[in-house]
Structure 1
Amino acid sequence: MTTDSQRPLVDSAWLKGALDRPDLVVLDVRTPPAGGFIPGSIHSDYAKAGWRATVDGVPGLLPGTAVLERLIGGLGIRNGDHVVLVASGLSAADMGNATRVYWTFKTLGHDRVSVLDGGFAAWSDAGHPVVTAAATRPAATFTAAPREDLRAPLPVVAAAVAGGSVPLLDARSAEQFEGKAKSPQARVPGTLPGAVLIENSAFYSAAEKRFLPADAVKALADQAGTGESTITFCNTGHLASVSWFALSEVAGIDGVRLYDGSMSEWTADPSRPVKNGPAA
């Protein structure tokens, strides 16, 4: 049975009723926050606080365990807390702030974490109370129990590309997948050889401010030919976290991993093959 603290998604009505729980921590990861805050929530800027690291010129990588323990403990989050993550909710890309931090908590072995479906936009649209300033908490000790099964590091991705049997899911736009456009983070345009495309926005309704239900996510995955053991990627592991969250957590598909280095890391070495790239 899935308890409240193990539900990947919670809605604003549930959160409003849970605000007084002593083990609940509402962590706002908007960049920047606008329009106020959920009462009692703390804020950590996704883009500035250190949730992602640049290593050897590659942006967006998972920081070291000790770095994350200090970041999370410094926010006053303890191992026993149920963390609910709040993004702006206006688009799938916005929700990536919450899904990437959710994935980070999971890689640290912290399963008591949820995403507020629709983010702050859904909260405010529902007419729930808003305060002008974020709260603070005294620093605490957070101890990670890292797990390796949710992340696809470069050697795993290289083996998947070479083997051709592991589903590779590009979460970017069709233009970037087809090599018609390029992110500044990628050295060249194109995608991973063997990859298929499901744009991250397909998994989230910006109009309704909610993720698609599990059956709809599974239908998209089936149509694209992805499923168990899929590796999701984008340019820096942000948009791909939305796809990872939808497949792994909403739909419950086994073995889905996120390639946090994504195309920024893959294209840094000119010897690595690229589909739809300059020579295509």
Structure 2
Amino acid sequence: MRINLAGAALAAALLLTGAAHAERLTDKPLVDAAWLTEHLGNESLVILDIRDVAENVDPYAAGHVPGSVAARYSDGGWRVTVNNVPGMLPPTEQIQATIAGLGVNEDSQVVIVPAGTNASEFGGATRVYWTFKVLGHDAVTILDGGYAAWTKANGAVSTDAVTPVAGDFKAEFRPELLAGVAEVTAAIESDANLIDARSVAQFIGQEKTNTVQTLGHIPTAVNINFDKFYDAQNASFASPETIKQLAEAAGVANQSDFIAFCNTGHLASIAWFGLSEVEGLKNVRLYDGSMAEWTADPSRPVVTN
């Protein structure tokens, strides 16, 4: 009788460490339609369709990846207003309950499916991805190109709504992935790299959104426009080579300790994802409150050059 010692050792390790440390299906931040097709039906797989209702049409009801759960980005509980600042990470217990309610367990492999229409819309996927990471769940990835790529690859489509059974997801908060006012203030005086992911016009103070009180940007920040992280021609995320070039052009290549920000922490998640997860740079944080929070206090410095 032949005994598979490696398999026995793995099984024993899983018993000792618990389900939360079960083997991930992938360690890649992005997967394609072929990968998702291959893993459909896997018991550990939880597919979150984050597409929003548009023009009174629910895209999930019209068709979705088989087995996926509706988890709309805009009104699905992913972001809330905190101290009059919009788009913030919800309190840990609240977002933990939201995620568990979507059927996510501690050992689930989560796949996030956006629409795949443009760079800003893809920011919903990167923001949800960051949410899982900051809550301590590493087994998360994004379908590159979103639902558009899925249908282009002739992936199976279902109109059967999935009612998830609540999972046992538990958050293990990682403060090192999140920056606040104190960290940004310290970064201005240190070697930390502040990355403004907004448009050039907003960066130089020609334009602003209604969520921001003052024209301009945080001192010492460099601008890497969020849409540079997106390959519009192929409707996919930018390659590691492209992101490296962006970092070089901004003068931050081969460095560590970054804080990405935008207006409300949505577009900044695209830069965070590109620099941290795709390019693999170290110590990249997201300033959740971004310019909406920073400019709420007129004593905080803002510059236009």
Task: Indicate the TM-score class for this superposition, using the shorter chain for normalisation.
Answer: over 0.9
The CA deviation string for residues 117-153 of structure 1, in whole angstroms up to 9 with x for no partner, is 1111111111212222432211122111111111111
Identify the match of residue 141 of structure 1 among 150, 162, 168.
168
Which moves more between the two structures, 243-252 or 34-43? 34-43
Q: Distance in 2 between matches of 1:134 and 1:191?
A: 44
Matched residue SS, 1:6:
coil
Task: Provide the secondary structure at the position in 2 that maps to 1:231.
Answer: strand
Match of 2:234 in 1: 208
Task: Report whether the alignment pairs 1:16 with 2:42.
Answer: no
Secondary structure (helix, strand or coil) at the match of 1:5 reads coil
* Farther off after superposition, 2-11 or 110-119: 2-11
- Of 91, 108, 117, 1:81 maps to 108
Matched, 1:113 2:140: yes
Where do 5+ consecutive residues of structure 1 fail to align? Answer: none
Query: What's the counterpart of residue 218 of structure 2?
Result: 192
- State the 4+ residue runs in structure 1 displaced beyond 3 angstroms: none
Q: Bigger relative contact order, structure 1 or 2, given CA contacts below 8 A and separation 6+?
A: 1
Mapped partners of 1:176, 1:113: distance in 2: 32
Q: Does 1:221 align with 2:242?
A: no
Deviation at 1:63, TM superposition (A): 1.1
Give the partner amino acid of 2:235: K
CA distance in 2, matches of 1:133, 1:160: 49
| Residue 30 (structure 1) aligns with | 51
Normalising by structure 2, report the TM-score: 0.87
Q: Secondary structure at the match of 2:195?
A: strand
Tell me the distance in 2 between the aligned counterparts of 1:130 and 1:205: 25
Matched AA of 2:120: A
Residue 3 (structure 1) shift: 5.6
Distance in 2 separating the partners of 1:28 and 1:249: 21
Structure 2 match to 1:264:
292
Question: What percentage of aligned pairs have identical amino acids?
Answer: 48
Q: Given that residues 47 and 112 in structure 2 are in contact (C-alpha distance below 8 angstroms), is that contact kept between their aligned partners in structure 1?
A: yes
Residue 37 to residue 243, structure 1, CA distance change in 2 (3 Å):
same
Distance in structure 2 (CA, Å) of the matches to 1:66 and 1:265: 22
Residue 235 of structure 1 aligns with which residue? Answer: 263
CA offsets 1:147-206 (integer angstroms, 9 cap, x no match)? 111111111011112x04211111111111111111111011111111111111101112
Which sits farther off after the overlay, 29-38 or 249-258? 29-38
Whether the aligned pair in 2 keeps the contact of 1:151 and 1:258 (CA below 8 Å) is yes
Q: Which stretch of the first structure deviates more once superposed, 82-91 or 221-230?
A: 221-230
Asked if the contact 2:24/2:109 (under 8 Å) is kept, the reply is no
Alignment gaps of 5+ in structure 2: 1-22
Q: Look up the match of 2:90.
A: 63
Contact 1:42 1:135 in 2 (8 A): yes
**Partners of 1:90 and 1:124 in 2: CA distance:** 13
Aligned-partner Cα distance in 2 for 1:243–1:129: 31
Structure-1 residue corresponding to 2:208:
182
Specify the SS of the correspondent of 1:77.
coil
Give the Cα–Cα distance (whole angstroms) in 1 for the partners of residues 281 and 267 of structure 2. 18
Residue 214 of structure 1: how far off its partner (Å)? 1.2
Counterparts of 2:273 and 2:191, CA distance in 1:
22
Amino acid in structure 1 at the alignment position of 2:38: G
Residues in 1 aligned to 2:303 and 2:129: alpha-carbon distance in whole angstroms:
30
Partners of 1:90 and 1:209 within 8 A in 2? yes
Contact residue 39 and residue 134 of structure 1 kept, 8 A: no
Residue 159 of structure 1 corresponds to 186
Relative distance call for 1:195 and 1:9 in structure 2 (3 A) is same
1:112, CA displacement in angstroms? 0.4
